[in-house]
Chains A and B, each alone.
Chain A
């Protein structure tokens, strides 16, 4: 059973701080990794994709991938109250079109 695990939270950080969201996955052969943001009552929005080991930065977001440890993380710098949402980690299934989603981490950014 392929799995993607996330701490459900809630994770609470003050405005301006760095929020760190973590995810582990079970399929060692996985090649594609995604972070989605989902506001309450809305659909998920893709915010980061990462395919190789290391860091990938996009604005205030940095995705980090360590395939040896089967670990992927998302850092949000200068967190804003508008970043308060559930963040879903997703991992592409090897050799196919399917993607396994974690249950998500709820983030609260306090003004």
Chain B
């Protein structure tokens, strides 16, 4: 089955800790994204990557970091600098350029992060 996996499903973080959220896709998509969703709110873009070894900041990148060493993987680190990290984190991917539907995004199941 092709799809996007995220792990863990639930994550608890203590104050001052860095944590890393995993995102893997086997859809052969070039672009990958990280969003944050707070209760009752829409999706806010944290980081995105169009190709391997390249990524750009989204609207709320402060306190987060990413890497894109492989096409299939786009992990997100929530650092201790992120002051209010409790949220639902969603990873998505889309096809590369050259197709009319290149920015149709497909989402993983999400990781729910809680700060203790």
Contact = CB atoms under 8 A, between A and B. Distances in A.
A88 B43 contact: yes
B109 A103 contact: no
Contacts of A101: 35, 42-43
A33 B48 CA distance: 19
B108 A43 contact: yes
Interface size class of B (residues with CB under 8 A): 20 to 34
Name which of B58, B103, B108 has the most chain A CB atoms within 10 A of its CB: B103
A61 to B, nearest CB: 15
A81 interface: no
Q: In terms of DSSP, what is the predominant structure of the interface of chain B?
A: loop
Contacts of A88: 42-43
Contacts of B105: 34, 46, 90, 99
Interface of B: 31, 33, 35, 40-43, 45, 48, 50, 58, 90, 94, 100-110
9 contacts: A32-B101, A34-B104, A42-B109, A44-B90, A45-B107, A97-B48, A99-B103, A103-B41, A104-B42
A49 interface: yes
B106 A46 contact: yes
